[in-house]
Amino acid sequence: MIHCVYGVWDGTAIDARRDPARRQTSLLSGFDEVAPDTAAMAFIADRGFLILDESTSLAFAFSDYLARAADESCGRCTPCRVGTQRLRDLLKKVVDGVAAPGALDEARALAWQITQTALCGMGQSCARALYEALVHFPEEFGAMTPAQAVFQHSFIYVTAPCIEACPSKIDVPKYIDGVKNGKFDFALGVVLDNYPMAGSCGRVCVRFCEAACRRNAAEGPVGIRMLKRYAADEAFPRQRLKFAPSAERHDKRVAVIGAGPAGITCAYKLLRGGIQVDVFDAQWASGGMAALGIPSYRLPKDVLKAESEDVIRQLGGHFLYGKALGRDFSVDDLLGKGYDAVFLAYGASKASQLGVRNEELVPQGYASGIDFLFKVYRHVEGGEPFTLAGDVVVVGGGNVAMDCVRSARRMGAKSVHLVYRRTIEDMPADREEVLAAQREGVVFHCLSNPSELVVKGNRVAGVRLVAMRQTEVDARGRHGVEPIPDSETFMACDWVIAAIGQVVANDVLRPEEGIELDRWNWVMADPDTLETSRPGVFAGGDCVLGPQSSMTLVNALDHGERAAASIRDYLLNGHTHVTAERHMQKFLANNHLLDDKRLERMPLEKPRAHVPELPVDERVRNFAEVDGVIAKETAYEEASRCLRCYRMYSLVTVKSLQGGYTQGTRRDAPSARAMNTFGAPRVASTPMR
């Protein structure tokens, strides 16, 4: 059990040194999970600090902390730019035992001034804990002893609410800074350090980051997605960024199964690390569900191709199209023919069934949502014949359902109806997609559920619907629903499209291949390393995430990146490991340390920019991209709305944490900020010096 010796948290001072029996369990839990192989000594955050080991040098812990703050300052305001450097220098003198009289008083006054007058979140939060420490425990700021110099190490993690909300942990404020400064290649480079699909994600991401944006407490979140797209559209078409095979080369080969977002990202990261990759896919083009399931009016296929197939080929990767796992080859085949590791990213392309009467007849005019979108894709992109006429009913409330109803409008349907068993507020679809469908004339029938397909002459003639009513709130905070007795009605239609989800086919993996599946055929993989039960085989994307992923692109991108890191570990070191960075991410989430959406000081009101759109009467005639790109001036203005809500978290430990993210005690160590290939520094995972 970890106990707090002394500290300050949320303005409340804690001191149990004189009475050990009164020591309380730490206000936070999970320090041992962040540092499983060493003892935790102290924790410093924006909300305060906790000393867990009385031998901790408080001065040195804060010296490291403020030195990192000075390193991360954007330099736009004097309090943060100059103040953090002055605090760093003052604390270093205290640690070295050469501080002048009154140094701590100066540091306390300066910490308060920075907190109250800095313009961004980093400046407003970085000195808050130091101020509390100097108010309540100034006597603890003494010179560092030789023993402390050996047995005290700081792991400093810098993040923000938007970063932690993003599955891929993209450094959002950093690329927004790039846009703000007119450095679009730099901004794009921040994204490309994680995955190649910047323009695609900038169009269709569901924006977990914007939901976490602290500017929601003012006039609305920063348009993070539109800025990502802007940076990508500025750089990619002009070919400012060239991709070339890595100068680092390893005699290792990896087979990636699936050319969707997870597979492409894994291949991208491995190739950049000098590992050879072959990508197998059952289709004849890259992109996976992003290509086949997301219509062109949302994601133009030339953009997707440039960020998937073209990038992988430039990096030296190879594609083997028309090759399906379970049909044309097995995992045993791959591992037996020279591949050192396999990444399974084959997705979930089999449709879920409605479970209604007459569905087993599979009448004409009945299709799953994904099959319908495949037909639309092949018609729009490949010119295959496909006509749609009459009245269309789509069942579902997710993004696939929205893609179906909006595509049906463009395919010439007389009318399009959406049937969903819950309320419109409960729909898992992106809110913008729901509003767009309504503007395009889709008729919504909420609290309604199909009970039977009405079939005449082997063709859909209509659907019987049952009215639903809400019941108690479930564990996820949503009302349950139940059918209302004797409420069945008939709706005539020519098409019924079931868009209620996808599952994995049960003939992809054989039991004898030694890869454990759950009862729904999802691959069971370690949530951190993505290792499966078979050595050398990793899995990610929808075949692992299952229905919980809500078919989001960014979740797949995250899995691809993490799988590549684990595969590289496995191939080059013989084992995988979980980084201290990832441990810290889970620690922050479990303790809800970034959940506070309030603003200490309300910013000047700056309305959110609007993305230009095609007029409704134009967009429903074809599959041209609906959303346009914002103007350069608009991008600057929108980027200026970012409050740079960075927060720093320092865990002080007896031994250095492994994984390359640890700041040691050598105060004379040179600065070494890790840079990505394109020149953008990684804020969330780099040492101070």
Taking only the tens place, the pLDDT of each residue in 589-636 is: 999 999 887 777 788 889 999 999 999 999 999 999 999 999 999 999
CB 406 within 8 A of CB 430: no
In whole angstroms, what is the distance from residue 42 CA to residue 53 CA? 7
465 and 365 housed in the same domain = yes
Provide the token pair at 464.
């019987």
In whole angstroms, what is the distance from residue 687 CA to residue 282 CA? 43
Q: Specify the pLDDT at position 385.
A: 94
340 and 393 housed in the same domain = no
In whole angstroms, what is the distance from residue 23 CA to residue 548 CA? 41
Convert 202-268 into a string of H (helix), E (strand) and C (coil): HHHCCCHHHHHCHHHHCCCCCCHHHHHHHHHHHHCCCCCCCCCCCCCCCCCEEEEECCCHHHHHHHH
User: Tens digits of per-residue pLDDT, 495-505?
Assistant: 999 999 888 88
Q: Which residue type sits at 389? A: A
40 and 135 housed in the same domain = yes
Nearest residue to 157 (alpha-carbon basis) of 28, 55, 32, 64: 64
Query: Last residue of a domain, which of 446, 478, 500?
Result: 500
Structural domain contains residue 680: no
Q: What single-letter DSSP state applies at residue 627?
A: B
139 and 185 housed in the same domain = no
Structural domain contains residue 258: yes
Ordered DSSP codes for 415-467: EEEEEESS-GGG--S-HHHHHHHHHTTPEEEESEEEEEEEEETTEEEEEEEEE
CB atoms within 10 A of CB 474: 10
What is the CATH number for 113? 1.20.1440.230
391 and 424 housed in the same domain = yes
228 and 275 housed in the same domain = no
In degrees and rounded to multiples of 5, residue 508 shows phi and psi of -85, -45
Structural domain contains residue 539: yes
SS3 content of the chain, % helix, strand, coil (to 5): 40, 20, 45
211 and 235 housed in the same domain = yes
Q: Which residue type sits at 409? A: R
222 and 302 housed in the same domain = no
Question: What are 462's strand-pairing partners?
Answer: 454, 492
Task: Kindly give the parts of the chain with pLDDT less than 70.
Answer: 1-2, 20-26, 236-241, 547-551, 658-689
Structural domain contains residue 606: no
In whole angstroms, what is the distance from residue 467 CA to residue 446 CA? 9
Instruction: Report the number of distinct structural domains present in the chain.
Output: 4
7 and 156 housed in the same domain = yes
455 and 313 housed in the same domain = no
Structural domain contains residue 304: yes
* Domain housing 398: 353-500
Q: Specify the pLDDT at position 677.
A: 33
Q: Rg (Cα) of the chain, in Å, rounded?
A: 28
SS3 (DSSP) at 108: helix
Structural domain contains residue 614: no
Nearest residue to 266 (alpha-carbon basis) of 344, 331, 213, 318: 344
What is the CATH number for 364? 3.50.50.60
User: Tens digits of per-residue pLDDT, 109-137?
Assistant: 999 999 999 999 999 999 999 999 999 99
CB 114 within 8 A of CB 127: yes
Q: What single-letter DSSP state applies at residue 668?
A: T
382 and 448 housed in the same domain = yes
Query: Last residue of a domain, which of 477, 500, 523?
Result: 500
Structural domain contains residue 596: no
**DSSP element (H, E) containing 648:** strand 647-653
140 and 283 housed in the same domain = no
Taking every pair of Cα atoms in the chain, the longest distance, rounded to a whole number of angstroms, is 96
Structural domain contains residue 110: yes
CB 483 within 8 A of CB 381: no
